[in-house]
Structure 1
Amino acid sequence: MQIIGVAVAGGSSVFARPLEHGVDPHRLAWELGYRIVRPLSASGVGDELTVTVQVSAHGRPVSEGGVQRRRSLDRELTEADVVDPLVRQRLAAYAMVLSSHGLLATEFSNRTAVPHSWGLPGGGIDPGENPSQAVIREAIEETGQHIEIAHLLDIQTDHWIGRSPTGVVEDFHAVRIIYAATCPEPTTPVVNDVGGTTASARWVPLHQWYRTHWAAGTRALLDRHLATISAQLGYRRRSAG
């Protein structure tokens, strides 16, 4: 995967760098002298995936931070378990989906490290898919909803060591491409991909979103973007009364 920074949309690149394992794009841009203003596009498939971001020079002293700190998601891992983990970078796409029914949410199953927490519909990008195709497919599999992409919203990464759903110890770098999306004809959500990482799905009323037990990364995204995109897409919060 490659990150390209441009000063203005459609302009020439000021940097182009591969996103190495464990590296966060915001930190990568910062160490090159820029801050990411907003993501512009995500194109290509597989290893040829390119994310273009608009940046501005920050003009501050820079110290190299290297890769993200790797946290542990499994307290039962021994020192022997983490000596030679499988190194894996996973590219995935998710969507913050709004409709007249609220915000679309998916519950993590017991096959994940955060069972019973809630997140956004989405998942890994399959070979031959671009990110928008992947998130549309995942929304159908995980919730039964047909969504329409509005725009690219954010790029989020995480870095940890833990066991995969198959029991393999992994040094895992999650790269998440986040879209804003709508569901013009919402229905009662149903999980079609039974037995996977999604236990259930539901629509969360916008005025009650903060009462849901979200996974940490999802809550950070909602805190940052939900109010803005709900206004942009015409789904303003209604009061509980």
Structure 2
Amino acid sequence: MRIVCVATEGGSPLFSSALGHGEDPYLTVWQHGLTLTRTLSAENTSNEIVLTVQGAPTLHRPVQRRRRRHHPQGSELPTRRQRVAAYGIVLSERGILGTEFSKLTNASGSFGLPGGGIEPGEQPPHTVVREVHEETSQHVTIGPLVDVQSDHWIGHAPNGRFEDFHAVRLVYTVFCDDPTDPVVIDVGGTTASARWVPLDNWRDTPWVSGSRALLAKHLPEARRLWALHRAERD
């Protein structure tokens, strides 16, 4: 994955840098003396996924990056894996769309935002549309890219493989004009069930920490955009 940072939308790049394994995009921008102020677009090119962000100068002294050393458990070496995925904060008149993690995951019984891994040659917005339909049977319209989230850990995956895993999540605001009772189409995968969560008490749902943080940060603006979308539709 590559980060391209511009001062203004459509402007010339301030820098272009590959996102190193385990690195957070916000830190990558900060290392160049800038603050990531806005995510603009994500495109799957022939060679890599390119995330374009807007940056503003910040008063700090960039520090030299230190490579993280991995200490294997015993003689076992972790398999390094970076996974770029796309997710949606999906809003409708019935609330927020949430998906329950299945027993194939380490978060069984908790809820997250619908989405998943970007397939080769697939554009990130198309990933969200496809994954939302596979996980919940809903048909949606893509809104703006609102954030990028990164997690890095070393441990055993649900399949037992010892991994040095870097998760990068592109997050979009998404609208569902004709919500129905969610049905999981991709049965037997990582999604056990799906449901619409009422907006007024969304915090009562057992969201995983990453999804809860994204909703707390972006839900007010997502609700505003949803209201504008409905007004334009009507």
TM-score computed with the length of structure 2 as normaliser: 0.92
Amino acid at match of 1:191: V
**Are the counterparts in 2 of residues 87 and 171 from structure 1 also a CA contact under 8 Å?**
yes
Which digits, 9 at most, give the CA deviation of each residue in 1:7-44, with x for residues without a partner?
00000000100011101000010011001011001012
Quickly say closer, same or farther: Cα 1:16–1:205, change in 2 above 3 A: same
Q: Mark the runs of 5 or more structure 1 residues left unpaired by the alignment.
A: 71-77, 236-241
Deviation of 1:169 after TM superposition, in Å, equals: 1.2
The more displaced of 38-47 and 83-92 is: 38-47
Distance 1:97 1:104 in 2: 5
1: CA distance, partners of 2:195 / 2:68: 33
Candidates 91, 98, 105, aligned match of 2:84 = 91
**What per-residue deviation string (whole Å, max 9, x for no partner) do you get for residues 188-209 of structure 1?**
0010111111111000000010
Matched, 1:80 2:78: no
Q: Deviations over 1:91-110 (max 9, x none)?
A: 10000000001000001111
Shift of 1:63: 2.4
Aligned to 1:162: 155
Q: Is residue 189 from structure 1 mapped to residue 182 from structure 2 by the alignment?
A: yes
Alignment partner for residue 222 of structure 2, among 218, 226, 229?
229
**CA deviation map 1:82-130 (0-9, x unaligned):** x411100001000000000100000111111111111000000111211
What's 2:206 paired with? Answer: 213
- Which amino acid letter does the alignment assign opposite residue 60 of structure 1? H
Residue 96 of structure 2 is aligned to residue 103 of structure 1: yes
In 2, the alpha carbon distance for the partners of 1:202 and 1:46 equals 36
Q: Percent identity?
A: 48
Counterpart AA for 2:95: G
Give the corresponding residue for 1:59.
59
Quote how far apart the aligned CAs of 1:175 are: 0.5
The residue aligned with 1:118 is: 111
Secondary structure of 1:20's match?
coil
Matched positions, count: 227
